[in-house]
Amino acid sequence: MPLTLVRNDITKMDTDAIVNAANESLLGGGGVDGAIHRAAGPELLSECKTLGGCKTGEAKVTKGYRLKARYVIHTVGPVYRDGKHGEEALLSSCYTNSLKAAADLGLTSISFPLISAGAYGYPEQEAIRVAVKVISDFLETREMDVYLVFFISSIFQKSHEQYPELAEKIERISLTEEKAVLSETKRRKAAGKNSFFVYNAMLSGAHAFREDAEQAEPLPTACAEADSADLASRLKELDESFTEMLLRKIDESGMKDSECYKKANLDRKLFSKIRSNTHYRPKKNTALAFAIALRLSLAETEELLKKAGFALSESNVSDVIIRYFIEKGVYDIFEINEALFDYDQVQLGA
């Protein structure tokens, strides 16, 4: 997937490169910088000493040494003052120059921390906005898997505050699930030792069924042939497939294929598989990603999902979130993914 939000320790990310939110000396420090130097080992510091530092907004590359990543791309974020001293432009440059460095090396995956949002004081939600904008703009013309890594889970609480109606819907689902769990627990306790006899009775019934099945008379040949002919007739009348509907909707939208799959936060290889196979069965979140990219109505989204064998459920947190945004007319896939991430749900395109 081109852009994914993850909760992890960035030093443990298994991507071609990880980005270090460094200081201008490149000689290590606190936070992410210190953690990366400790995990990479003293060889990283030795190489950094040869680079002559790094200016704010720029990026320099070293080997990864003891890290899973082959490279570390060091970039220096701006210290936030009041947002009126070029902080956003400098922060954007950090992401742009890091991505360019990765592309120049021919890398296919990269992990970023949230640059400048720690000791440098950049407001977290603004820092996220800048990161997502620069990365998504880059991915419009380049192929790369990009991860935005958060070490703590408290950074994302925006959805709870910004979408109170959505929060209420999800709270109701959680309460329903809790009641269901309690009810099942009580039922199991009430069953107690009798459950063993119920289980044996079920096994006996299943055994009897198998014996009956083995003794059953085979269908007459004429009936079997009639059923076969009826099935063949039904198969000829199948409605358009998921792939056929998707390609039709893309044509109707006036989008190019590349524009559509990038808006869906998907890569070219997956889209090629779908295009080349009329009967391709996508994952549910892939189908939903295309629905968002094509700005389909709720009815159209449900129709596209049905072609893939899925449906939206009012008892599924992820489905409730996606339905909420479609009903509100919000089709920014990264904004939707932020909400999914906030509620620990699988992101669209993943």
Active site residues: 33
Domains defined for the chain, CATH in brackets = 3-155 (3.40.220.10), 242-342 (no CATH)
Beta bridge partners of 148: 5, 112
Q: What's residue 162's pLDDT?
A: 77
Q: Work out the angle at residue 134's Cα, subtended by the Cα atoms of residues 272 and 264, and round it to the nearest 5 degrees.
A: 30
Q: What is the residue whose two structure tokens read 């042939």?
A: 225
**Alpha-carbon distance 279 to 264, whole Å?**
20
Nearest to 108 by CA among 85, 139, 77: 139
Nearest to 68 by CA among 103, 110, 31, 106: 110
Contacts of 208 (CB under 8 A, 6+ apart): none
DSSP 89-121: HHHHHHHHHHHHHHHHTT-SEEEE--TTSSTT-
Asked whether 72 and 17 are in contact (CB, 8 A), the reply is yes
Query: Using CB atoms within 10 A of its CB, is residue 40 exposed (0-12), middle (13-18) or buried (19+)?
Result: buried
Asked whether 114 and 150 are in contact (CB, 8 A), the reply is yes
List per-residue pLDDT tens for the chain, 350 residues long. 699 999 999 999 999 999 999 999 999 999 999 999 999 999 999 999 999 999 999 999 999 999 999 999 999 999 999 999 999 999 999 999 999 999 999 999 999 999 999 899 999 989 999 999 999 999 999 999 999 999 875 555 666 677 888 888 888 887 765 555 566 666 666 666 555 444 444 444 444 444 444 444 555 555 556 556 565 555 444 589 999 999 999 999 999 999 999 999 999 999 999 999 999 999 999 999 999 999 999 999 999 999 999 999 999 999 999 999 999 999 999 999 999 999 999 999 86
Instruction: Please give the single-letter amino acid code of residue 147.
Output: Y
Asked whether 320 and 170 are in contact (CB, 8 A), the reply is yes
- Give the other-Cβ count within 10 Å of 70's Cβ: 14
Nearest to 301 by CA among 275, 316, 319: 319
